[in-house]
Chain A
């Protein structure tokens, strides 16, 4: 009986850990407004866009929006797309300010805000955890890879 209880406890712990790890590694889907002609973007262009350079997509100059700093979504996106740690991202934007260049993209307080802004603000581009997608946003493939593809690697951290 003790063996069975121990097995149950071990299995439970493992399952919780696996599920928790999976929750942290949620795919982040790059999104624009539903109906946009932008269905795909290269990772290089996405990086340039989120580094403050003008990038056109779907006939409009894209306006990037970030998740709030120090969130799993923001850290994961910055790492996967910009190739920077939170410290490096902070230094990058402070240095740009001192140069007199454009400021960092606006940060939005929640995924719900991100979904709303991406759906309604002209030219907006953002990212959402896959389970937060709404019907009025449109996923954008990155380097031709859509988010359901197992090779899609923009994930929350």
Chain B
């Protein structure tokens, strides 16, 4: 009997403690509520082998009338979309880069420098439940300090009349993206404007916070596919038995001397992408692009450089827990038509095929600022052998993510160039550090 008393007492006190712990924000409840007493009685009855009467179903009340959905911007009567506010955000990065060349020349010279590479601002807004707009603008200190094709250097230094005509170096902007898109169905969206070409992995993922290394692989930077295009992108995805099939079909001005605002040759470029994403972390994609490049005419009435180009590439990405693998291979063919071949050092520019790729492996730990050690290897075979015929690079680095919005990177690069060219059989080494952040 004494033990029974102890059990009942324990239950009552324990239930009371739980009530207090679970509802700290509410007014103090009675030390022992009727509900607790019922539970204690049930437990007592169970111990004593007595079957309790069936409990009445709990009374479930409707949701609170005190909450104003309008105040949350979620008034069902007026809300056009779950979130129709203008969203402003962006990313930036700051680097320290040390370059060393084995074959030092006026073109290739050792350097050590700090650099602010990207300051990108995004403006995003849901226009309706089915339409959205996005603009991404990169603010840059360029073109100051950049080299012209004739080897002269751009100097944008100006005198600032608001500051006693003291010198100021002005910069420019790059419109990375500016488009509007509309969901035709759940599986088909039409995007129009200036967008990043949907190919590979690190062209769409071009923001420095999402790229593991301070600098993208050489083949991605080479733009065998155009980095941006201006035109239409019809895209979507479908689930097929747990596997997600994504697709893009694009039509654009193609690459050119003023591709964002004028198609120099009045010929559209076409492209597309197919990708499969499995539930177990594997993504495989293939992309294609075909178009004509036409440069700006050097003089009124003159013909600009023009050639046909075709690019295709494959990419694969695999995530298994903290393990990350990714690889891209890209090929670009360039073809000049008869009579349209441009001059190049040593004669006329040949038709040719550029090829490049990389393979990367990394592992994200949950400690040391979520560090991810990674290594990757690159191969680059340009059709133009002015510099070299084949470049092979090995890269090792660390990517720290102390918080989702802050990324710290350190990387060591070793490149060997093979074959003939200005940088034949040379070695290039780079050590780079970068902090990138999202705001």
A associates with B: yes
Asked if residues A100 and B74 are in contact (CB atoms below 8 Å), the reply is: no
Asked if residues B209 and A116 are in contact (CB atoms below 8 Å), the reply is: no
Q: Whole-angstrom distance between the alpha carbons of A122 and B21 in the complex? A: 35
> What count of chain A residues pass the 8 Å CB interface test?
48
Closest to B17 in A: A16
The one of A12, A23, A55, A121 in contact with B76, judged by C-beta atoms closer than 8 angstroms, is: A121
Please, which residues of chain A bring their CB within 8 A of the CB of B28? none
Q: Which chain B residues numbered 54 to 98 have a C-beta less than 8 Å away from chain A?
A: 60-64, 66-67, 69, 72, 74, 76, 79, 82-83, 87, 89, 91
B302 close to A (CB within 8 Å): no
Classify the secondary structure of B's interface with A.
Answer: mixed
Stretch at the interface among B7-15, B106-114, B144-152, B218-226: B7-15
Write the A1-27 contact mask toward B (1 if CB under 8 angstroms, else 0). 000100110011001101110010000
Please, which residues of chain A bring their CB within 8 A of the CB of B207? 98-99
A133 close to B (CB within 8 Å): yes
> Given A4-B6, A44-B242, is A23 in contact with B366 using a C-beta cutoff of 8 Å?
no
> Given A7-B6, A23-B22, A100-B122, is A117 in contact with B69 using a C-beta cutoff of 8 Å?
yes
Please, which residues of chain B bring their CB within 8 A of the CB of A115? 63-64
Stretch at the interface among A74-82, A88-96, A142-150: A88-96
Q: Whole-angstrom distance between the alpha carbons of A69 and B309 in the complex? A: 49
Residue from A20, A55, A94, A103 having most chain B Cβ neighbours under 10 A: A94
Asked if residues B404 and A98 are in contact (CB atoms below 8 Å), the reply is: no
Interface residues on B, range: 35 or more
Please, which residues of chain A bring their CB within 8 A of the CB of B210? 95, 98-99
Asked if residues A20 and B79 are in contact (CB atoms below 8 Å), the reply is: no
Q: Whole-angstrom distance between the alpha carbons of A4 and B3 in the complex? A: 9
Closest to B60 in A: A135
Q: How far is the CB of B260 from chain A (nearest CB, A)?
A: 17
The one of B9, B82, B279, B401 in contact with A91, judged by C-beta atoms closer than 8 angstroms, is: B401
B183 close to A (CB within 8 Å): yes
The one of B6, B66, B83 in contact with A11, judged by C-beta atoms closer than 8 angstroms, is: B6
Q: Whole-angstrom distance between the alpha carbons of A133 and B237 in the complex? A: 34
> Given A134-B61, A135-B61, is A97 in contact with B205 using a C-beta cutoff of 8 Å?
no
Closest to B65 in A: A116
Q: Which chain B residues numbered 396 to 437 have a C-beta less than 8 Å away from chain A?
A: 401, 403-405
Q: How far is the CB of B360 from chain A (nearest CB, A)?
A: 16
Asked if residues A97 and B89 are in contact (CB atoms below 8 Å), the reply is: yes
Q: Whole-angstrom distance between the alpha carbons of A57 and B380 in the complex? A: 48
> Given A53-B237, A54-B183, A63-B82, is A16 in contact with B14 using a C-beta cutoff of 8 Å?
yes
Asked if residues A106 and B83 are in contact (CB atoms below 8 Å), the reply is: yes
Closest to B83 in A: A106
Asked if residues B87 and A103 are in contact (CB atoms below 8 Å), the reply is: yes
Please, which residues of chain A bring their CB within 8 A of the CB of B279? 44
Q: How far is the CB of B193 from chain A (nearest CB, A)?
A: 12
> Given A16-B17, A53-B237, A100-B134, is A120 in contact with B69 using a C-beta cutoff of 8 Å?
yes
The one of B14, B62, B63 in contact with A12, judged by C-beta atoms closer than 8 angstroms, is: B14
> Given A113-B72, A120-B76, A133-B60, is A97 in contact with B122 using a C-beta cutoff of 8 Å?
yes
- 12 A-B residue pairs with CB within 8 Å: A7-B6, A16-B18, A16-B21, A61-B186, A94-B405, A99-B210, A100-B136, A118-B63, A119-B62, A120-B69, A121-B69, A134-B63
Task: Tell me the B residues contacting A by CB distance below 8 Å.
Answer: 2, 6-7, 9-11, 13-15, 17-18, 21-22, 60-64, 66-67, 69, 72, 74, 76, 79, 82-83, 87, 89, 91, 122, 124, 129, 134, 136, 177, 183, 186, 196, 204-205, 207, 209-210, 237, 239, 242, 279, 366, 370, 401, 403-405, 438
In the A-B complex, the 5 residue pairs with the smallest Cβ-Cβ separation, listed nearest first, are A90-B404, A15-B14, A98-B207, A115-B63, A19-B18
Known: A103-B87, A135-B60. 6 other contacts (CB 8 A): A11-B6, A19-B17, A56-B186, A97-B438, A99-B205, A100-B177
